[in-house]
Structure 1
């Protein structure tokens, strides 16, 4: 028995409640090391000593390249639990509790693992609609000026004595006039990068948090956009930039002018006086910034007045315009207490509002049910890049990585993750695929059939490419005839039409070392959908039992052979 590989973490993704009745427990072991794993659980307030334990046999729910993840889900008869594990490998048998191995139980219940109380307020409960969301991410400056049209012209406007700029002519009215296009493709959620008044075309250097940027239109244009989306069954998520502001924001200008005498002198992080003018390129900024960008001073969200101000911003757009959620910029660099206040504010207005953090790393810290409902899942893109684009890993390695990606979160959080191949910050995935459209389409199919919210960056469906920022934020190529459009339409139709692809459990069927044939299943109690995709350069053989059922969609399937870049989606019912 490889004891070094055994891991359990109480009150985490290894031990959590799904609701006030159902519990999930997990235990990690070395891959293929155990013959059996059994969970023993009892009432930690039991009046008898020793505690009376019930038991349930655990099953291997997932595997990566190194580990097995045993799991059990059951309805608990108790609200307070103590528990331990029994591990069997050949002739060896050990009990595991309190992070140590033992060959016997003890009378002192405090020595076992504890789940102190299944409290409803501690549940992780992302809005249910997120499981069914298919997201279209629009970079407002680059999308549309009108129906099926973008001017691709620069603009310069005045806002309260300050100059704001646009680069390609996109407007909110332009988005509104193309909602029919998005609905026809099957999208049901719109996420927009920042729309508030800001200096540059990207609008991440904000100068006003309560008004739309005039390059994009008026506040009433945004109201019309939200109303149009809601009238078409679409939800709206907007970008919240609260880690930093723009240097033209009047509150930062007040500090520059008045120094320590400014009422906003503690609104910014690590100021030194006098505050240098950010437009002087020869002077390193004497204040904390977003990265080292002098035009974006970092906000001191740990200050009461700052937190109050931005919670008012949160409430305003939810109450006044009825948005459905926030995507929160540079979320991992903002203090936790602010985000908890922001979360409580948002949920007090609309309990179904979605809060999605921009966290590029593992986001478990922020997915505890008190900070965010979801995060932007850049690891999804990273693993897909290795398998579909660079083709530097085989199916076994790819499956191990996406398994690790799933198992590191509570189950509820996995289904709310915003999975993506592209965003406004990264090269277009089609370019990374070296224009191999067959490989790219398999990545899109994986995006649409994996647990979580698939997010598509504007123009992906029309084959937009680009490695550099000026390229991947290019103007929407309206009018382009591209076969990807029909592929996206069918992939979204498939996801929207099959509940198992939105809410079913995930199980790996085949992911062999040295092979690039990847087969997995999404399962509900009454049905399942199996997906097979072939990244090999040659045909790959499929098992006959995989093909039992109704073929929903396929490419390159010939009898029991699947062609290179081919796929098969098969539904089974019972």
Structure 2
């Protein structure tokens, strides 16, 4: 992270009151938080009719923070801030702290700067349209000034994104920018002065995580206790009676597949079979085998070289949680009432009501700012870290206060210095949590959306998919290992289910192919290696019970073929550093054909995925004329530097200078 300290900032906003708004309440939402929980602003007097003025005191680190206002429940822009950025369907205001003036978006902080795998410094900046076609990076190193032409990579609605790589350098790095008209842009708050970046490397990701392949196990639906019956899908919200000893019995097969990390959905005592509604976060559920079964699983996994992550969910409790049961009996008179979130009463004859998770009426939201709740959370983190787990997956991390997430990570790292703190983040600005020391890695739902829309649903062209993938790379602000990527989750329909729903089984393995050939840490959902799918998909997130079917105990012929292919793909990824740690370049994107290049430490690999009609493409490269297909899916032919790809096919080819 950068060397500059957080700065106190008073933000004054002016907004039009949207037609139909019942009140003039003003909330601030954006990248200073999770885009969900608004910060109520202090109203100011003097606003003319139809407008509202307000202000907020913010403690934010240097950076470019997108935000928007919600007035009377309606989204609107800050009329006194002309700086905006439009990405996709959304246009937001920009708050720049220690950043560049218009027409440039840049600050010496993630995601605009980071230290990449190959060393040096990766720099990204966004130039507003209408201010030139080129951008140069000026590196003001004493005695060796450099001027580097930045590459234009992504077009947004209001900006063009540029990137450059500085080779090995001293620290700190001093930077400015030059645009087409000759203007030199430095710090907005100190005109003419360069930006200063000094990387801190003490919180680097452990190497085992950067090379990981994660396997997600929905524990209740994965395997029974040895010898116990294992029948058909029991249906929505009904337990299948999965067992930790069943997971342990599967370790040889998982090791043979090539996965290196097991991620277990919650195994604590909880109210439901998915166990995200805590009852006792300090105990392994006896129904899963209890402490002894977990200890055996952890020890045998470690003996086989497999790492284990546990899932901790603290957003809400369930029936049986003692404080909740006390509140159910006594209401606000309970000494535990303040542990939970309440909806304020609208009138004297309507008492305050407990707030619950989603549409449930038996899952009260915990107040994660309450000291006793925070103490319970940290006790749970210490308990699992003390057991020797290799990491924690923090459920709904965007709803956990950043300072609490930071403390959880400190507790974990104090007991397991090489452990990983993984956060489930839906927002696309995971760099905020990482730069604050709250997370090491975050889920990348942007990749999930792009892969599903391009390859399963076919609602995204290769051109748009390429733009989305590049935007994700430029917006990460960290090495690829900081993103956990996937094409299926236990909260969404499986990729294979969607592929069959939208066009047939022929495309069902393309998602895993792209995943395992892309930057980031890949995560497979249990059964994906067997091409498992549901007959009746449910699109509602978190209610996809048909896709949470019990794992088959034996392989049929189709599952065996899928397993063999996925094992080969994982083995190739393990053999080629370029597939694990290489950067991403788009060689071709048109119609249904996407060709990527991955390169690292002199190794160059091309990845072609065809989601359209049969096609032939010439991958002529004078510097790397040798082309050898290492692995293919579907109909693929190679001749010279030409690839012929059938419909729903893909290939990975190594390039050599020969």
TM tier relative to shorter chain? 0.7 to 0.9
Cα drift, residue 284 of structure 1: 11
Mapped pair 1:529 → 2:605: yes
**Aligned ranges 1:218-229 → 2 under 5 Å:** 218-229=290-301
> For residues 282 and 318 of structure 2, what CA distance do their matches in structure 1 show?
14
**Aligned ranges 1:201-280 → 2 under 5 Å:** 201-259=273-331, 262-270=334-342
Which residue of the partner structure matches residue 95 of structure 1? 184
> For residues 394 and 65 of structure 1, what CA distance do their matches in structure 2 show?
16
Contact 2:519–2:580, Cα closer than 8 Å, also in 1: yes
Contact 2:280–2:321, Cα closer than 8 Å, also in 1: yes
The structure-2 alpha-carbon separation of the partners of 1:245 and 1:38, relative to structure 1 and needing over 3 Å to count, comes to same
Contact 1:65–1:396, Cα closer than 8 Å, also in 2: no
Contact 1:153–1:167, Cα closer than 8 Å, also in 2: no
Match of 1:293 among 353, 360, 385: 360
Cα drift, residue 300 of structure 1: 1.5
> For residues 455 and 197 of structure 1, what CA distance do their matches in structure 2 show?
25
Cα drift, residue 119 of structure 1: 4.3
Cα drift, residue 68 of structure 1: 3.7
Mapped pair 1:379 → 2:446: yes
Helix, strand or coil: the match of 1:209?
Answer: strand
Q: Which consecutive unaligned segments of at least 5 residues does structure 2 have?
A: 1-100, 539-543
Which residue of the partner structure matches residue 392 of structure 1? 459
Match of 1:54 among 145, 149, 170: 145
Which residue of the partner structure matches residue 415 of structure 2? 349
The structure-2 alpha-carbon separation of the partners of 1:201 and 1:152, relative to structure 1 and needing over 3 Å to count, comes to farther
Cα drift, residue 111 of structure 1: 4.3
Q: TM-score, normalization: structure 1?
A: 0.84
> For residues 125 and 520 of structure 1, what CA distance do their matches in structure 2 show?
27
Which residue of the partner structure matches residue 196 of structure 2? 115
Q: State the Cα deviation string for residues 341-388 of structure 1 (Å, max 9, x = none).
A: 111111111122111111122123222250111122222111112110
Helix, strand or coil: the match of 1:86?
Answer: strand
Which residue of the partner structure matches residue 551 of structure 2? 476
Cα drift, residue 288 of structure 1: 2.3
Helix, strand or coil: the match of 1:253?
Answer: helix
Mapped pair 1:327 → 2:425: no
Helix, strand or coil: the match of 2:646?
Answer: strand
Q: State the Cα deviation string for residues 228-274 of structure 1 (Å, max 9, x = none).
A: 1111111101110111121320122233345556443322223779x
Contact 1:462–1:477, Cα closer than 8 Å, also in 2: no
The structure-2 alpha-carbon separation of the partners of 1:55 and 1:25, relative to structure 1 and needing over 3 Å to count, comes to same
Match of 2:578 among 500, 510, 520: 500
Q: State the Cα deviation string for residues 177-217 of structure 1 (Å, max 9, x = none).
A: 01111111111110111111112111112211111112211
The structure-2 alpha-carbon separation of the partners of 1:438 and 1:30, relative to structure 1 and needing over 3 Å to count, comes to farther
Provide the aligned C-alpha RMSD in A: 3.0
Which residue of the partner structure matches residue 519 of structure 1? 595
Choose between structure 1 and 2 for higher RCO, CA contacts under 8 A separated by at least 6 residues: 1
The structure-2 alpha-carbon separation of the partners of 1:213 and 1:202, relative to structure 1 and needing over 3 Å to count, comes to same
Contact 1:239–1:326, Cα closer than 8 Å, also in 2: yes
The structure-2 alpha-carbon separation of the partners of 1:146 and 1:549, relative to structure 1 and needing over 3 Å to count, comes to farther
**Aligned ranges 1:407-422 → 2 under 5 Å:** 407-412=474-479, 414-422=480-488
Contact 1:247–1:297, Cα closer than 8 Å, also in 2: no
Match of 2:506 among 418, 427, 438: 438
Tell me the number of residue pairs that the alignment of Structure 1 and Structure 2 aligns: 528
Match of 1:143 among 222, 225, 228: 222
> For residues 359 and 525 of structure 1, what CA distance do their matches in structure 2 show?
31
> For residues 518 and 551 of structure 2, what CA distance do their matches in structure 1 show?
27
Q: State the Cα deviation string for residues 472-493 of structure 1 (Å, max 9, x = none).
A: 1111122232232222112111
Which residue of the partner structure matches residue 105 of structure 1? none
The structure-2 alpha-carbon separation of the partners of 1:237 and 1:138, relative to structure 1 and needing over 3 Å to count, comes to same
Which residue of the partner structure matches residue 152 of structure 1? 231
**Aligned ranges 1:124-203 → 2 under 5 Å:** 125-146=204-225, 151-152=230-231, 167-203=239-275
Cα drift, residue 327 of structure 1: 1.1
Helix, strand or coil: the match of 2:270?
Answer: coil
> For residues 394 and 99 of structure 1, what CA distance do their matches in structure 2 show?
39
> For residues 572 and 226 of structure 2, what CA distance do their matches in structure 1 show?
27
The structure-2 alpha-carbon separation of the partners of 1:42 and 1:503, relative to structure 1 and needing over 3 Å to count, comes to same
> For residues 372 and 265 of structure 1, what CA distance do their matches in structure 2 show?
30
The structure-2 alpha-carbon separation of the partners of 1:517 and 1:119, relative to structure 1 and needing over 3 Å to count, comes to closer
Contact 1:196–1:203, Cα closer than 8 Å, also in 2: yes
Cα drift, residue 99 of structure 1: 5.0
Helix, strand or coil: the match of 2:268?
Answer: coil
> For residues 16 and 423 of structure 1, what CA distance do their matches in structure 2 show?
29
Which residue of the partner structure matches residue 168 of structure 2? 75
> For residues 132 and 120 of structure 1, what CA distance do their matches in structure 2 show?
19
Q: TM-score, normalization: structure 2?
A: 0.74
The structure-2 alpha-carbon separation of the partners of 1:85 and 1:258, relative to structure 1 and needing over 3 Å to count, comes to same
Helix, strand or coil: the match of 1:425?
Answer: coil
The structure-2 alpha-carbon separation of the partners of 1:426 and 1:225, relative to structure 1 and needing over 3 Å to count, comes to same
The structure-2 alpha-carbon separation of the partners of 1:476 and 1:398, relative to structure 1 and needing over 3 Å to count, comes to same
Q: Which consecutive unaligned segments of at least 5 residues does structure 1 have?
A: 47-51, 101-108, 156-164, 274-282
Of the structure 1 ranges 428-437 and 254-263, higher mean CA displacement relative to structure 2 is found in 254-263
Helix, strand or coil: the match of 2:421?
Answer: strand
Which residue of the partner structure matches residue 548 of structure 1? 626
Match of 1:464 among 517, 528, 532: 532
Contact 2:421–2:439, Cα closer than 8 Å, also in 1: yes
Mapped pair 1:447 → 2:447: no
Which residue of the partner structure matches residue 52 of structure 2? none
